[in-house]
């Protein structure tokens, strides 16, 4: 009997519904953590909002474009006002932040570099903006 392999040739970027809003609380060297919200739009633009909890009440807003990375199932976010891109591994309903070289972050805090997708089952309220 032949063994069927459903996962052969299956790429997450082809099947995942990646547009959406992702949230996380990332590690921080000199604060309690970095409250993070990342919105990925279908037109390949993004909005990243971060706040350094315990250090500042100010929210930092970053806008830019993203593209598929060189490695399988990765996204590269390129900010409008900075030459430094951010890289993420696309997983089911989450993004895993990668280091500057595109590698998974290791160590005891590795599991904290994950942004989880918000489940939008109910319609968003209409905004007048």
pLDDT, tens digit only, all 129 positions of the chain? 444 333 333 344 444 578 999 999 999 999 999 999 999 999 999 999 999 999 999 999 999 999 999 888 999 999 998 888 999 999 999 999 999 999 999 999 999 999 999 976 655 554 444
Find out whether 111 and 15 touch, Cβ atoms under 8 Å.
no
Q: pTM here?
A: 0.79
**Structure token pair of residue 124:** 């968003």
Find out whether 19 and 41 touch, Cβ atoms under 8 Å.
yes
Place of tokens 């900075």: 82
Q: Are strands 20-26 and 86-91 parallel, antiparallel or unpaired?
A: unpaired
Please report the sign of the dihedral spanned by the C-alpha atoms of residue 92, residue 121, residue 36, residue 126: positive
């Amino acid at each position: 009997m032949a063994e069927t392999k459903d996962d052969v040739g299956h790429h997450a970027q082809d099947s995942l519904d990646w547009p959406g809003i992702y949230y996380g609380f990332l590690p921080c060297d000199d604060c309690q953590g970095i409250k993070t919200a990342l919105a990925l739009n279908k037109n390949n633009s993004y909005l990243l909002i971060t706040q350094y909890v315990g250090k500042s009440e100010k929210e930092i807003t970053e806008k830019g474009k993203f593209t598929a990375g060189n490695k399988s199932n990765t996204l590269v976010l390129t900010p409008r006002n900075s030459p430094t891109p951010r890289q993420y591994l696309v997983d089911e309903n989450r993004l895993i932040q990668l280091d500057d070289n595109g590698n998974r972050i290791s160590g005891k805090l590795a599991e904290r570099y994950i942004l989880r997708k918000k489940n939008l089952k109910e319609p968003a309220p209409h905004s007048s903006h």
